[in-house]
Structure 1
Amino acid sequence: MLAAAAGCADGARASVAAPSPPADEAALCRALHDALPRSVAGQERRDPEPASELTAGWGDAAIVLRCGVPRPERMSDPQAQGVEVDGVGWMLEEREEGPRFTTTYRRTYVEVTLDRRYLHDASPLTDLAGPVAGAVPSAL
């Protein structure tokens, strides 16, 4: 699903597969793309390749966002962990390479993957919650 390679000193960018959401969800993702901040958790914006309005990144692939992803299977698990940040619900998937968060109860799913620096730190979500809430309406 996500094929990210950390950026190298020579300026290489992460490679991230763009999702293929339906047209109405893609429109929400384009609005989100325009609203995303220039920095997240002190990491400057550095979008992955190939360029897409459905993906964004900060740092050397430390923080990667994909909009319009399919609903994660884990979301059906009543034991799934979640957090709420500034009114936006996120489902947490703990992974060895770093946590992955996916929005809940939004008209399209937004996925944020963090690298190992953020194993126990969801603070990057504070910079992303406002843009997500403003561009991707609640499904409730």
Structure 2
Amino acid sequence: MHRRRALRAPLALTVLALVGCGEPAVRAVPFGGSDSIPCQAVAERWPDTIGPYEPRVTAVASDGVAAWGEPPIVARCGKAPPGPTTDPCIDVNGVDWVATSLDDGGTMFTTYGRDPAVEVLVPAAYEAPPLLLPPFGEAVGAIPQSLGECSSVGD
């Protein structure tokens, strides 16, 4: 049984709650590579919780997408790796993340140096978004960091 599934949107993530029987499901469009072998390895390691936030049911048949909390924190595997950027890059327990501020006040974190990349979208309702990243370390670690390190960003 899949507890976490979702759909992806082109650039901005559209997150909707679907009303149905039981718990509302989170929708977020998966990336094209979300069901690739590397993303399957990531999905097998998605964290059980993100801090106090429990997993959410997602609305599509892709294990490469998961969600936790309300409003949902959404993780998606299969994104194209980011190239050099001026966005801040941070190391969280050995995982390099590029942090991008979104127009709605949320933050998009994208792994750096891994192919495919993993994206974590944190809504503006959460304080200190980087503090939500450590639980993703084991899952993201399933993809080797072979394309460079955080220090490479912007060089």
Please say whether Structure 1 and Structure 2 have the same fold, judged by a TM-score greater than 0.5. yes
**Alignment match, 2:125:** 117
> CA 1:48 to 1:22, structure 2 compared with 1: closer, same or farther past 3 Å?
closer
**Alignment match, 1:12:** 24
Unaligned runs of at least 5 residues, structure 2: 1-9, 148-155
TM-fit CA distance, 1:49: 1.2
Residues 27 and 58 in structure 2, CA contact (< 8 A), matched pair in contact too: yes
> CA 1:117 to 1:7, structure 2 compared with 1: closer, same or farther past 3 Å?
farther
> CA 1:69 to 1:131, structure 2 compared with 1: closer, same or farther past 3 Å?
same
Q: Could you list the per-position Cα deviations for residues 90-120 of structure 1 after superposition, in whole angstroms to 9, with x for gaps in the alignment? A: 0000112410000000121100001112353
Task: Give the share of equivalent positions with the same residue, in percent.
Answer: 27
> What is the TM-score of this pair, normalised by structure 1?
0.83
**Alignment match, 1:30:** 40
Unaligned runs of at least 5 residues, structure 1: none
**Alignment match, 2:135:** 127
Q: Could you list the per-position Cα deviations for residues 32-81 of structure 1 after superposition, in whole angstroms to 9, with x for gaps in the alignment? A: 10111211121111142113111011123421000001245xx433x221
CA RMSD across the alignment: 2.3
Residues 33 and 79 in structure 2, CA contact (< 8 A), matched pair in contact too: yes
> What is the TM-score of this pair, normalised by structure 2?
0.76
Tell me, what secondary structure is at the counterpart of 2:133? helix
Q: What CA distance in whole angstroms lies between the structure 2 residues aligned with 1:120 and 1:106?
A: 24
Please identify which structure carries the higher helix content. Answer: 1
